[in-house]
Amino acid sequence: MISSLTGSIKSIRLGTVVIEVGGVGLLVNVPGRVAAGFTVGTTISLHTVLVVREDALTLYGFETHVARELFELLQTVTGIGPKVAQSALNIYEPAELVSAIKNGQPDILERIPGLGKKGAQRLVLELREKVDGFEQAEAALSGSWRDQLTSALTGLGFSARDAQERIDQLTSQFKDVSHEPIAELLRAALSGGVQR
């Protein structure tokens, strides 16, 4: 099982990226909204799931371990495979999905391609009791954005001091920095910040 990878982005397409790891280019399926935040040539780290089928080995990548675990949990529901689970995470953030499931809102989930009305109702019914832990994990993850960003910047060659200065700039430029995607924060930090 390949559970994570770090490498340089070689190419980006809608829903997929090629990441070079140790001289090997790996094709990774990622939610389109996540891929939109990537830039060719940058180094990224993804949490991954390798789906083994009779005719294919498919690698799915996620920005957080919470998204990866939610992807796997969605597939425990009858009729939901990796493509539908990936579509769900393409349309919604993990927190939005968990909220819709926990609050019994299948009408929101019906928008997921390949799910339909009955699939959305079944998803709520089967997962309502199982998503409690995801809310705490999301909250904990959002609290550690500073650590994630520091690690990413130092991994790209910034000194700890320079990384801290860039991060401090972000807190004054973003309204609620803890709710911004890490990819967006990293891009802003690398460019010296953004004006909002």
Q: Measure the CA–CA gap between 162 and 104, rounded to whole angstroms.
A: 46
pTM greater than 0.85 (yes/no)? no
Q: Give tens-digit pLDDT for 138-181.
A: 554 444 667 777 777 877 778 878 887 887 787 777 766 666 66
- Are 83 and 18 part of one and the same domain? no
Residue 109: inside a domain: yes
Q: What's the pLDDT band for 9 if we cut at 50, 70, 90?
A: very high
For 17, the token pair is 């990226």
Neighbours of 169 (CB within 10 A): 15
- Are 36 and 72 part of one and the same domain? no
- Are 131 and 70 part of one and the same domain? yes
Residue 160: inside a domain: yes
Q: Look at residue 183 and tell me whether its pLDDT is greater than 80.
A: no
Angle at the Cα of 146 from the Cα atoms of 140 and 150, rounded to 5 degrees = 130
Residue 196: inside a domain: no
Measure Cα distances from 69 to 30, 133, 138, 163 in Å. 14, 11, 11, 29
Q: What's the pLDDT band for 118 if we cut at 50, 70, 90?
A: very high
- Are 151 and 177 part of one and the same domain? yes
pLDDT in the model for residue 66: 84
**Counting beta carbons within 10 angstroms of the beta carbon of residue 196, is it exposed (0 to 12), middle (13 to 18) or buried (19 or more)?**
exposed
* Residue count (the chain): 196
Number of domains in the chain: 3
Last residue of a domain, one of 14, 39, 62: 62
- Are 109 and 163 part of one and the same domain? no
**Domain CATH code at residue 53:** 2.40.50.140
**Domain CATH code at residue 92:** 1.10.150.20
For 66, the token pair is 């919470």
Q: Give tens-digit pLDDT for 59-112.
A: 999 988 888 999 999 999 988 999 999 999 988 888 888 888 988 888 889 989
Segment (H or E) for 185:
helix 182-190
Last residue of a domain, one of 97, 112, 139: 139
Place of tokens 């991994």: 155
Residue 125: inside a domain: yes
Per the prediction, the chain carries an average pLDDT of 83
pLDDT in the model for residue 146: 72
Residue-range definition of the domain harbouring residue 9: 4-62
Residue 50: inside a domain: yes
Q: Are 67 and 94 in contact (CB under 8 A)?
A: yes
Residue 14: inside a domain: yes
